[in-house]
Amino acid sequence: MLLASAAIAEDRTAWFREAKFGMFIHWGPYSLASVEASWPLMTPPSKRFGFISEPEYRALPERFNPVQYDPAAWVKLAKAAGQRYMVFTSKHHDGFCMFDSQFTRYKITNTPYKKDTAAMLVEAARNEGMKLGFYYSPPDMDHPGYRDTTKLSVTNWRGEPTRPEWSMYLDYMQLQVTELLTRYGDVAIIWWDGLGGKSYDPTRFDRLIRELQPKTLTNNRVGSPGDYITPEQFVPKTIPSKKPLAPGAVPAPEDFQLWETCMTINGTWGYNKNDTKYKSTTQLIRTLIEVASKGGNFLLNVGPTPEGTIQPEFAERLLAIGEWMKVNGEAIYGTTYGPLQNLGFARTTAKGKTIYLHVFDWPKGELEVPGLGARVVEARLLKGSVKLGFRQAGGKLSIQVPAAAPDAHASVIALKTR
């Protein structure tokens, strides 16, 4: 019985394990003000989250009108980047709904734009066969059941689950999750973001989701384990495992803990014209590799502009990642953590009997790989599909490689083993 349900869970996550790379989208009226999504309501004014008063923040929907919003263009960009799924903010902590919920007036269809932005993205994704999930924030600064909204949210943003109104808030969550799972076709993921709150009755929501859409994945941010864990803005130092790992060891497949790192391209989730600290393409590709080498998925965020476009600095990087993925995607998609975890100069991923060596620091002379147990029968550079000569002796593999790195971001060698 237990085994059977584990097998079913395994099966539900199969596409996710294969996909490896997704697009996160943080979009809402906050993008108008170049401030962080929701946090300016919750924390004192700061450089990190932006300087905007609560009334000013609350008034942003009155002028949210992203007339250039072209969801098909977003989906095409994600595809060109090599991303295999998208996760869209249906409701952030501010409580504003980017979908046409019946149960609130604080929503996209009450802005000058009027249209259901989520429904439009759903249609565009469906047309391209792109998986789409919804980010949904349990914290909700707008709902009077979540907190006493007569007070400033800086004082009670963590919610007030001991008030009798709390149960009304859980009912509201139930109604909205039901809308998301009954009106928008197949929902790939419900991406909770509960900020560690412990009073959301996760069993109730686990059950609701299973009833409405048995295949929808969930993360671990509503209080239950969900299908995967979610390091934010970092990559775990060691492979996430359900059992303690010896230093340098890799988990047995059944002990592996499925996971996803979410990360911004600059430093903010929402659009911010003042945040120009963009990670380089090389950095982003290497992070994707680092994540894959530990068996994870990479959910890379864009914060679209208030006009509805994705800024060129993001698009450029995504397209460059896509170019790299065209050549090297076989070393990412459908792979899991590699057998060699502490090489320094390279990362490894694995698929069946093939080990992919993602080389960051290209050697002068031969490429020497220590610690490989398996017998190598072929070494092939993915760029140009070039077979490379090699020797294997005394636990060391030596590969004859070109003098210069074939790819400045990372060069991948597929090692077929026996």
Chain residues in the site for ligand H79 (CB under 6 A): 37, 43, 193, 195, 232, 262, 269
Q: Is the Cβ of residue 157 or residue 333 nearer to ligand H79 in the bound state?
A: 157
Shortest Å, Cβ 37 to ligand H79? 5
Rg over alpha carbons for the chain, rounded to the nearest Å, is 23
Q: Is the Cβ of residue 138 or residue 406 nearer to ligand H79 in the bound state?
A: 138
For every residue of 381-412, DSSP letters joined together read ETGGGEE--EEEETTEEEE---SS-S-SS-EE
Which H or E element spans position 380?
Answer: strand 376-381
Shortest Å, Cβ 196 to ligand H79? 8
Beta-bridge partner residues of 91:
97, 136
Shortest Å, Cβ 222 to ligand H79? 13
**3-state DSSP helix/strand/coil percent for the chain, to nearest 5?**
30, 20, 50
Q: What is the dihedral of CA 109, 115, 118, 120, to 10 degrees?
A: 170
Shortest Å, Cβ 193 to ligand H79? 5
What is the spatial distance between Cα 297 and Cα 317, in angstroms, rounded to a whole number? 18
Residue 74 makes CB contacts below 8 A (sequence gap 6+) with 23, 25, 86, 121, 124, 304, 310
Q: Which two tokens stand for residue 219?
A: 């993360």
Q: What angle do CA 375, 377, 378 make, to 5 degrees?
A: 130
Q: Is the Cβ of residue 285 or residue 300 nearer to ligand H79 in the bound state?
A: 300
Shortest Å, Cβ 271 to ligand H79? 13
Q: Give the CB-nearest residue to ligand H79.
A: 269
Q: Is the Cβ of residue 37 or residue 250 nearer to ligand H79 in the bound state?
A: 37
Q: Is the Cβ of residue 197 or residue 363 nearer to ligand H79 in the bound state?
A: 197
Q: Which two tokens stand for residue 67?
A: 């007339």
Q: Is the Cβ of residue 37 or residue 189 nearer to ligand H79 in the bound state?
A: 37
Q: Which two tokens stand for residue 9?
A: 């869970």
Q: Is the Cβ of residue 64 or residue 192 nearer to ligand H79 in the bound state?
A: 192
What is the spatial distance between Cα 12 and Cα 7, in angstroms, rounded to a whole number? 9
Shortest Å, Cβ 43 to ligand H79? 5
What is the spatial distance between Cα 368 and Cα 28, in angstroms, rounded to a whole number? 50
Cα dist. 368→159, 254, 286 in Å? 55, 31, 20
Beta-bridge partner residues of 134:
88, 190
Q: Is the Cβ of residue 89 or residue 336 nearer to ligand H79 in the bound state?
A: 89
Cα dist. 184→19, 179, 213, 397 in Å? 21, 8, 11, 52
Shortest Å, Cβ 55 to ligand H79? 21
Q: Is the Cβ of residue 33 or residue 37 nearer to ligand H79 in the bound state?
A: 37
Q: Which two tokens stand for residue 48?
A: 């990190």
Shortest Å, Cβ 118 to ligand H79? 16
Shortest Å, Cβ 49 to ligand H79? 7
